[in-house]
Chain A
Amino acid sequence: MSSDLYWRDTYSTFGPLFYELLGYYESNYNREPTWIDYAKVNASSEVLPIYGESPLPKYVMYLSQLPLVNRLTEIRQLAYTHVLFPGATHTRYEHSRGVMHRCSRILKKLAEKIESDCKDKGISITDDDRIVLEIAALLHDLGHPAWGHALDGITGFVVQLLGETLKYLFAPRKLDIAITLYLLLENDQMLKALEFCSKEIKDAKTREMFGKIVAQIVMEEEQPLFPEMKDNETQVAKTHLLTTILGTYRGRGGIDADRLDWLVRDAHHANLGAKLDAATLQKYDAYMELNKTDNFKVGIEDCEFAFVDDPKFKDTMTELREKIYSEIYEGIERSFSDSLLMRLAYSATHVINTVGNSFASSSITARTIMGYLLMYDNLMKEFTSDILQLSKQHGQLLGLPDPSARFTSKSYDLFRLSEDIKYIMHSLSPKTIKEEYLESMNLHFNYVELEQIGKKLIITTAEAFSNLIERAFNASKATDACKLAILFQNILAASRINAIGAMKVYTLESTLQDRCKDANICLLVNYYFFRKFDDCFKEVHDLVSLKEVLQKNLKSTPIFFIITNKMDSSKTKEIFEELCGNILANFLAHFQSIETIK
């Protein structure tokens, strides 16, 4: 086929869907909000779960009517958690309004303290500060895609498509924050809307930099992102104060109204209490009451950084946070569903990008990908299905090389598995998960027979992973420091932002499939493992401490899920052995790469 015909076929096959996505973004989210007259918007109020009546100042009433903000009412806060906890269907909007409500109250509480403690430094809380903080709180999740944090594992892949915004992203690790920044800096609807809202601001400098100040707060970066802020010390100090009310800085902390809200809200909707014994429940109930009424002491360091000055409150909060993570967010069930969703979104985004590269500019392609990632929960599913089905039928037009092409094509088969997500998630209980031992490699693995759908799920745990890392460590001649750098940089940091690419999941899957031709094999990687591992990596300084960390913090965390048709034990072992052999080979290649670099 000539290249012209090839191009025309790609265009006629994928073009309609590509432009539908672009149109979705442009017509809903990127058009200037000319249909609402800001001057005629009135303040109001609404009733929030947990907190009750909450004021809607004029600027919030205005912003919340924009399609870009209103979409948060169609995005579930906790992805597929409702499959196990049916009450957990609350939305990003409910949480965002909750955070805004809490920020206003905490700012009021802090204002008195600042008045008495910071007068000599000329710092006081103004109406401008309240407006900036309330808007930052409302918009802090603006770019959150559907499916919760499942897509954080593709952050590194998506941010490369964000054009100018990339310049302001320092080591991004969360997709929602990267997209939020893109929307605050490059989206016409939001830029115009913030321009209207800025009219409420009295201070000329704050008004002039309004959108950037909001972006700076939402990004939770301590260092100013924008050149015009870098030399304005008063503005920087004020931004630090407001940011540490809404969120935290790495290594410094903050009051974190965002976390205060999701802790009570997610626990409330998921009914975490039902999972706790009486004594723990009583302790957490007491904490929740203090949390939701702001009944804890706050402090301000150098009149610049706000913090919770209440050790007991903080300790209980840390315990509760860990409980919520283990029981609700990152249990094996959510790990499975999020690994599945991450792969589907990765494949769909990859297809859109490939199509865009063949006939559109990078800016148009980025906006089309935004159209996809900003879909409502239910539409995201529909469009993912359409994109993957089309790519399975006409994959040759994408010109993807193998194994990438096979991986994308198989993603459509996996999509159909999402119809059975309830059954699979409910099958992942300690009662149904069985253990198997692979003598040849001296490794254990877990599996679940999914009788209802005629499948088998093989689970690779951190224990096996740790063993493979240890073997690669021992086989490499490099120094421990060098091996740790490889482990951190190439395996953890890379997988944290691009788990599928860095772990070479498409190659692993393809090799497994070639080895076991009579089985239909799909491979998923659990991004949460790498996030958790990265968070405790500073405790690792040699092989011994590495093993301790993996044993202590990550022992039961799954890393890979293999989905295949029903098969006997020997065949299952064969597949697991092949996977482990290939993972080991990948690690060895990383470790040996240093010996070949000149």
Chain B
Amino acid sequence: MWTYTAYILGKYCEKNPEKYNELPFIEFAKFVFDVLWRKNNLIFHDGIKDLFEDFKYLQKLGIVELHEEDEKIEKAKVKIKDKEKLAQILRVVEDSGNLTGVKLFDVYARRINSAIETISVAPSS
């Protein structure tokens, strides 16, 4: 669900704004798999490749820029290209439970926000 990838990304960068300019993909993947999934029981992706596919889609939409080194996704870096678009997607996701009546969407947003609360983002190397 690429909308949730965008939501997690947006919240992650909000927590540490310097990540808007450069976010190592692997650092974000670690948050998705080690924090969000392991500690907050929420996952939308079947592994790192699946997560990367969502980033490729976000790149197509003009939201992020992906810089791949040697075509290795572990070395890829993400730059937020359009903060406003990303912020709009965050608002869509946040409001979707209310607009659609699917309360599960609220559960997902709560779990993501609670995972974000627990992290202190390390600066990019």
Contacts and interface: CB of A to CB of B under 8 A. Distances in A.
Interface string A203-240: 00000000000000000011100010010000000000
> Which of A160, A481, A494, A502 has the most C-beta atoms of chain B within 10 angstroms of its own C-beta?
A481
A99 B116 CA distance: 42
Contacts, number: 116
Nearest to A168: B41
Given A223-B43, A488-B2, A479 B88 contact: yes
A250 B50 contact: yes
A162 B60 CA distance: 38
Interface string B75-116: 000000010110011011111100111111101100000000
A482 B85 contact: yes
> Which of A230, A480, A493, A594 has the most C-beta atoms of chain B within 10 angstroms of its own C-beta?
A493
B110 to A, nearest CB: 12
Contacts of A593: 95, 99
Nearest to B61: A481
A398 B82 CA distance: 49
Interface string A300-338: 000000000000000000000000000000000000000
Contact of A501 (B6, B50, B93, B100): B100
Contact of B57 (A168, A482, A541, A597): A541
B92 A160 contact: no
Nearest to A222: B46
B92 A490 contact: yes
Nearest to B41: A167
A146 interface: no
Band of interface residues on A: 35 or more
B15 interface: no
Interface string A163-187: 0001110111000000000000000
A481 B62 contact: yes
A482 B100 contact: no
Interface in A496-518: 497-498, 501-502
A174 B53 CA distance: 23
B47 interface: yes
A494 B41 contact: no
Given A223-B37, A489-B3, A502 B102 contact: yes
A249 interface: yes
B60 A251 contact: no
A540 B111 CA distance: 28
A490 B41 CA distance: 23
A479 B1 CA distance: 19
B99 A498 contact: no
A252 B63 contact: no
Contacts of A490: 92, 96, 99-100
Interface of B: 1-4, 6, 33, 37-38, 41-47, 49-50, 53, 57, 60-63, 82, 84-85, 88-89, 91-96, 99-105, 107-108
Given A481-B63, A498-B102, 6 more contacts: A156-B104, A170-B44, A171-B4, A252-B47, A481-B62, A490-B99
12 contacts: A221-B43, A223-B33, A223-B37, A227-B38, A251-B50, A478-B88, A482-B89, A489-B92, A489-B96, A493-B96, A502-B100, A593-B99
Interface of A: 156, 159-160, 166-168, 170-172, 221-223, 227, 230, 249-252, 478-482, 484-486, 488-490, 493-494, 497-498, 501-502, 538, 541, 590, 593-594, 597
